[in-house]
Amino acid sequence: MNSARIAIALAALSLPASAFAATPAFERALLAELDTTTRAEVERRATGGNTVTGVVGTILLNNYQAAGPRNPGESVEVVAVDFGRGAAVIRRGTNVFEVVRFDPRTLRVQR
């Protein structure tokens, strides 16, 4: 699947569940973008109601926190992901956004 389409669909991570439902084909395409180790981790965690897109967003947030966030302890959420560019937009506060670079194969945040 084209990385641009993945970026558009992952932008919906912050939308209510009723506004966006990832299809099985989309989730398979997203998994295909990941390396073997990361794919296995996402698949292991994407059970019991957890979606692949939700797990990817959580991993990105965890890696963001591990890499040293700008304001530790601040509430953050992923609002958009562009796998083609290896960039995620993190919302920090009401109208504060940060573009974070990451490795699209491993989801590791680069500082």
Q: Rounded mean pLDDT of 62-77?
A: 86
The pLDDT tens digits for 23-55 are 788 888 889 999 999 999 999 999 999 999 899
Alpha-carbon span 106 to 102, nearest angstrom: 8
The domain containing residue 10 runs over which residues?
Answer: 3-110
Mean pLDDT lowest among 43-47, 48-52, 57-61, 91-95: 91-95
How far is CA 20 from its chain centroid?
Answer: 15
Number of domains in the chain: 1
